[in-house]
Structures are given as structure tokens and as C-alpha cells.
Structure 1
Amino acid sequence: MAGHSKWANIKHKKAATDAKRGKIWTRLIKEITVAARMGGGDVDANPRLRLAVDKAADANMPKENVTRAVQRGSGTLDGVNYEEVRYEGYGIGGAAIIVDCMTDNRVRTVAEVRHAFNKNGGNMGNEGSVAFMFQHCGQFLFAPGVNEDKLMEAALEAGADDVVQDEEGGFEVLCDPFAFSNVKDALEKAGFKAEVAEIIWKPAAETVFTGEDAVKMQKILDALENLDDVQAVFTNALIED
């Protein structure tokens, strides 16, 4: 796709993440707290918690912050009770958007999400209005230069569903969300460290945005991602430089 580089975008995203480290830590604390509440505070027995703790380590979050979040979630320390909520909606030209949130006040969160959509030219949809356009899956992205045969062997043996090479020579490994931890362990044991490793909503097909429409679409996404209660935003819009 001319003008679009997945690997350039990944580096850009990492730089943006570093610039917003405080906010990233806040989101990770919420995720750790909820994961511990739902599956217990044992990292080895709770894959979701383990993923969140791994992300916290990648974001250079102090271990004491992680420990406190686990304790709050598992009930050994008082704290705010967060709940997960997902919103769906449309951006420019009907592009699909999924917004994952964690909140202690649903009324506040839905009002803020709706405002971000409406103010920037989008609109909220009903539950299920766009989710059918996405696949909930584990995703691992590897930069160009990885040994294809060894990666494919390690991934498929670990239970991955697919290994796809992109036009730049990078690889994407997809798996069921429940197999994420096993696949991640197996890949790392085989010597493969992903540039990105996360559970996502992957669009079945993407719509390319350029020019003014790309700017407008990015504005909606930025407005949503900047909300305090938003954990992640997924879209089928592919915004080119």
C-alpha cells in the first residue's frame, strides 16, 4: 500500500506511547486491577494478568505500582472498583470503531465517548453494530528479516491460527485470545520477540483514508484515545500519510 508503512507506524506509536507514559501507566493499572479481580492475583495462573504485568514491565512501570494494583484487584488492598464496558460507533464515511473502556462511572464514560464521537463528525452505534466486522484475536507482529520457516513452525506448533507475511516482509501471527499466553511463551522460547504482542479487535477488511478525510478520521480516533476511561480504540480505517 503506497504511502503506508506498518513498521514506521509502529515506531511512531511507540514514540507517542513514551510521550504519554503517565497515561499509559494509568491504563495498565486499571487493566491489572480488573484482571486480578476476575482471575485472581497469581500471575502464573491468570493469563490476562500476566499479559498486563508484561506490558507494565515493557512500559517501565515500577514494580511497587504493579504489586499495589494486583492487591487492589485481588481484594487485599482497598481501591476503586473498575468495570469493563465496550462502545461501538462510526467515523468518517461510516468507518467502524470499537472503544474499550474501564470505568467506575458508566454514566460519565458513555457521555464522554458520545461527545467525542459527535463533536468530531462521528456517531455512536448500538451494541453489536460494528463488532461483526472484527475478529477478536491475539496478534504478534514481527519486523522484516525474521526466519519465516522457523517462525511458522514455532507459531503453528504453539497453536496459532495463522502466520501472514505483509508486503514489507514483516510477519503477523494470529491466534485465539485464550491461546495468547501459550503462543507468546512458545515464540519467545524459540527466540522470537514480537514488536507488538496484544489481544485486539482485528478488522476483517480495511478502508483506506487519505487527505482531508484521513485528518478528520484521525481527529475522531485521537479524541477517543485521549479520554481517561478509554483503554483502547480499534478501527477498520487505514490512515495513510
Structure 2
Amino acid sequence: MAGHSKWANIQHRKGRQDEKRGATFSKIAKEITVAAKMGGGDAAFNPRLRVAVEKAKAANMPKDKIDTAIKKGTGELEGVEYIEIRYEGYGIGGAAIMVDCLTDNKTRTVAEVRHAFSKHGGNMGTDGCVAFQFKHCGQMIFAPGTDEAALMDAAIEAGAEDVTSDEDGSIEVLTAPADFLTVKDALAAAGFTPELADVTMKPEGENVFSGDDAIKMQKLLDALENLDDVQEIYTTAIIEE
């Protein structure tokens, strides 16, 4: 991890999300709607919905917007029919990128994603071309200064798969996707609140960028993120400040 700070990258990412709060609300609402449609409108019995609602609350999304998104998913309100689709490709220097989308028009979405890749120096690949470079898992990041020994004990007891510390002092807890909420709740009960928590596709390796390549890579990621149908972007790229 030498040469860059995981914590700095997390703060940078959160800052960019805050700048785009309106777009963030729209994307979270889509996820809530799809989660409610698939597993029902009660977050207590629908883990995916609960994760989405917690993400909405963390972004300060108004409760009425959350409730409306749930009702669209359960059919109480009329809503758009979304399909889930994932695109894979390569960025600057061959960095791996996975793009998760929710769309009501696959033809439009694939054209927009392909255009963003090609316009900004990337290449959209075939299904599975980079998926092996990522691990599906629950991930929680805790701020530097957290009591590492106490957190590790609580995490392992709760069923976490791994606990690691970074050179910058941040601590990462990984879980199996199905155990994410259980571990998160146990850590909260023990007094530990993560700065970042989600079920994600964690890159197994990293491509660190600086200078002009960092600028180019950020433009590509921004172009993808700004597409209305794009929900999440996972990448091996680390952009140095």
C-alpha cells in the first residue's frame, strides 16, 4: 500500500459523491425499488433492501423519497421496470473496470457505456474479462485511530472473514456477502461505526495512477459515473492526489 493512502481515497470518493448528491439520490432510489421488487418492502426481511435504505440514510436522502421508491418496487405506486446488467472493460494502462447498471433500455445503456469507454481511452470488453480480478464480499472501513485489537476481536467473534490494517491507520473488515449485516450489527453493538460499509466487488490488485494518467483515468471514471443508468463502478485503479 506504499505510495498512496486508502483513507485519502475513501475521503476523496465520499467528497465526490456529496458533490453529486442529487444524482446519488436517483441511483439509490433505483436500487431501493429493485430490491423491494425482488425481496419485498420490509427491510427487516430483505437484506438487499436494508443495505440500500441504510445507504440512502447515510446520504441524507429524505424519508419520503425512500418510501416512494419502496412502494414503486412493491407495486403500490406505478414505477419503471428496471433490469440489472454488468459491463466489464479496461481503463488507462489496462486497469480493470466493472460497471453495474439498472436500466429500462439496454440498447441505450450499452451504447452510452461503450461510448464513455472509447471516448476516454478505455475499452469495453466481454463478459468475464475482468471479473476474476474482483472478490464479491462485504466491506467495512474504519477510521484511523480505531482500537484495532478490540475491533479485530469483535469482528472475528461476529463472523468476519478478515481484518487488516493499512499504513494510513485505517482498518478494513471483510465478510461473506450473506454475513455483512450480521457482522455490521455486531460491530455497531460493540461501539464500532464504519466510515464506509457496503457489499461490494473488492479488487484483488491495484493499479496506482499519478500525473497525466491519473487525470485521464479519473475522466473515464467520471464519464461512466455520470451516466444515469450506472449504479456502481468497481475498479483496480487508485488515483493519487
Name the residue aligned to 1:84. Answer: 84
- Asked if the contact 2:5/2:167 (under 8 Å) is kept, the reply is no
Secondary structure of the residue aligned to 1:61 is coil
- Whole-angstrom distance in 1 between the partners of 2:137 and 2:10: 19
Name the residue aligned to 1:16. Answer: 16
Name the residue aligned to 2:122. Answer: 122
- Whole-angstrom distance in 1 between the partners of 2:24 and 2:214: 25
Deviation, 1:93, is 1.5
Of 146-155 and 106-115, the range deviating more from structure 2: 146-155
Name the residue aligned to 1:42. Answer: 42
Deviation, 1:63, is 0.8
| Unmatched runs of 5 consecutive residues or more in structure 1 | none
1:221 aligns with 2:221: yes
Name the residue aligned to 2:139. Answer: 139
Q: 1:27-176 alignment to 2 at 5 Å?
A: 27-176=27-176
1:186 aligns with 2:186: yes
Of 36-45 and 150-159, the range deviating more from structure 2: 150-159
Deviation, 1:94, is 1.2
Name the residue aligned to 1:195. Answer: 195
Deviation, 1:8, is 2.4
Deviation, 1:4, is 2.1
Deviation, 1:3, is 5.0
Secondary structure of the residue aligned to 2:67 is helix
- Asked if the contact 2:6/2:166 (under 8 Å) is kept, the reply is no
Letter paired with 1:26:
S
Secondary structure of the residue aligned to 1:219 is helix
Letter paired with 1:90:
Y
- Whole-angstrom distance in 2 between the partners of 1:48 and 1:88: 23
- Whole-angstrom distance in 2 between the partners of 1:16 and 1:236: 18
Aligned residues: 241
| Unmatched runs of 5 consecutive residues or more in structure 2 | none
TM-score (norm 1): 0.97
- Whole-angstrom distance in 2 between the partners of 1:142 and 1:109: 35
CA distances 1:30-69 after superposition (whole Å, capped 9, x unpaired):
0000000111111100011001111111111111111111
Secondary structure of the residue aligned to 2:114 is helix
RMSD: 1.1
Deviation, 1:206, is 0.7
Deviation, 1:153, is 1.4
- Asked if the contact 2:9/2:239 (under 8 Å) is kept, the reply is no
- Asked if the contact 2:139/2:174 (under 8 Å) is kept, the reply is yes
Letter paired with 2:150:
K
- Asked if the contact 2:203/2:235 (under 8 Å) is kept, the reply is yes
Q: What fraction of aligned residue pairs are identical, expressed as a percent?
A: 63
